[in-house]
Amino acid sequence: MKILLWLLLLMVCWPLALLALVLYPLLWIIALPFRLVGIAVEGVFELLRSIVLLPSRLLGSRR
Read out DSSP for 5-19?
A: HHHHHHHHHHHHHHH
This prediction has a pTM of 0.56
Residue 48 to residue 25: CA distance in whole angstroms: 35
Q: What is the pLDDT of residue 39?
A: 97
Residue 51 to residue 58: CA distance in whole angstroms: 11
**Mean pLDDT, the chain, whole residue set:** 89
Mean pLDDT to the nearest integer, 30-40 = 96
Residue 42 to residue 50: CA distance in whole angstroms: 12
